[in-house]
Amino acid sequence: MPGRNDVRVSGPLAAPRLWWTWDHGEPFRYQCRTSVIIDGKEEILDERPIGIRQVDLGEGWQWRLNGRTVFIRGSNYIGSQWLSGLTAEQTGRDVELARVANLNMLRVHAHVTVPSFYDACDRQGILVWQDLPMQWGYRDEATTYAVARNMVHDVVELHGWRPSVAFWCAHNEAPWNEPWMAVEAGKFVPDQNQRLDHELAALFKQIDPSRPALANSGAGDGHTYPGWYWGEWTDVSELPGGAFVSEYGAQAVPVKESLRSFLPEDATADDWQFHGFQHYENRVKAGVTFDMPVDEVIEKTQRYQALIIQNSTETYRRKKRERVQGVLQFMLVDPWPCISWSVLDFERRPKLGYRALQRAMQPVLPSIEAENNYYTSHDNVVFGVWWINDHPYPFRDAQLSWELVDDHDRVVDSAGCAVHLLPDNARRVLQAGPFTLNPGQYRLRTMILDRNRELLGENDWTFVVADDAVADASAVQIAL
């Protein structure tokens, strides 16, 4: 008889191979085929690769994958403003660039992207934080509720079977948690969209109890921008925000070849602003204005972004398990020809920030705790040297070392010691300094070797020593 019959089949799978992120194992997938036999002939209804894994989010944002604690190292992602133009080759390349940058999660920020992106994350072992396409404020009316509920059902049906999709988020920066919106909206409404968001989170948990869900990003997780929207870049040491930092970073202008493809030499201030350039923040924080020589604008903004990314990422990671359980830098790629917080521009040309992100996100990192990147010749210059190990296994009989070199690459001082890297942990074990240095540019380099003297991770921090105190850090920005 014509009609529909929903059938659910379940059963044990003996000793299954699990799906892991690339840094914890193999993203193993099974081929799942659904078929029916009609008159002795098999008709395939569906066939797709699936993974077996369990994601849990405990108190204080502690992530577990297959029962194992995982520190999240990631970024936010919007591949394109025009999703119809995103090809499988492009999304596969974006995910590969994320993996090469040592990331194990991408947040699909305030939209649902093309299927090939999720295919690539499944294949390459990258977790996905999936937002609903809800950004800032909406009218609290019945139509909004109905449309949003339908979106929850749609996105779970579309991607709820994927091993990479680990987390649902109903809304990004909803007005009930963002008093700054009053500047744009004219007033702050503390309950606008609040009921909606919590109902959507509950609906996610109801129809997909296998994944954690959040009502609103920015309420519980941290959107922290010290050195950009407020304060100085060194203020990140105060660890603002939540135990999971889902946004942080700064803008940077892309390389000239990319920039000139959408902003000609005679572009006005309005043209720059239309393409995303934040005049106030770039002037006050990065020390640039759009009408400076363009090479200087590019250099200074990229160096400042790299400084923010390196210092913030390392600071948060040094507090793993104590205060911070993961970080998502903002953001990976430019979705259109623009100036933004991304580390890869619209053409996927890297900014200095990409290399800084790649280095700061190494699973094994010899981290440098720096109070500043400029000093005077009268200062005692001191750095803390840490090891950070995100792997679930130890490294015994490793060697951690540092060396200070001047601008002629001559070694000023050095030291090292044997270390035992505990699994999933971080420790401060060495002090570099105190140094009293002559004016010039210096680089502190760190390295961790395993017991076979194979490289596990390396890092560096460049700083300037001046004759007199420098009030503006942007005046002495140096290459990272």
Do the beta carbons of residue 365 and residue 457 sit within 8 Å? yes
Half-sphere exposure at residue 240, Cβ-oriented, CA atoms within 13 angstroms: 17
CATH of the domain spanning 368-476: 2.60.40.2550
CA atoms within 13 A on the CB side of 139: 6
pLDDT number for residue 474: 44
d(CA 387, CA 415): 15
User: How confident is the model at residue 1, as a pLDDT?
Assistant: 59
Give the pLDDT means over successive 10-residue stretches in the chain (480 positions).
73 88 97 85 85 95 97 98 93 98 98 98 98 95 97 97 98 91 75 96 97 95 94 88 92 98 97 98 96 97 98 96 92 97 98 98 98 92 97 97 96 97 97 94 97 98 83 46
Those residues whose C-beta lies under 8 Å from the C-beta of residue 389, and which sit 6 or more positions away, are 363, 364, 395, 421, 422, 423, 424, 425, 426
Is the pTM value of this prediction over 0.75?
Answer: yes
Q: How far apart are CA 55 and CA 168, in angstroms?
A: 12
Structure tokens at 341: 């917080």
Q: Domain spanning 55-363: which superfamily?
A: Glycosidases (3.20.20.80)
10, amino acid identity: S
Structural domain spans, the chain: 55-363, 368-476
Handedness of CA 190, 206, 63, 159 (dihedral sign): negative
| Residue 116, CA distances (Å) to 11, 79, 96, 184, 257 in order | 30, 11, 13, 36, 28
Query: Can you tell me the distance from the alpha carbon of 427 to that of 370, in angstroms, rounded to the nearest whole number?
Result: 15
Tell me, what's the pLDDT at 237? Answer: 86
Question: Cα-flanking dihedrals φ and ψ of residue 51, to 5°?
Answer: -125, 155
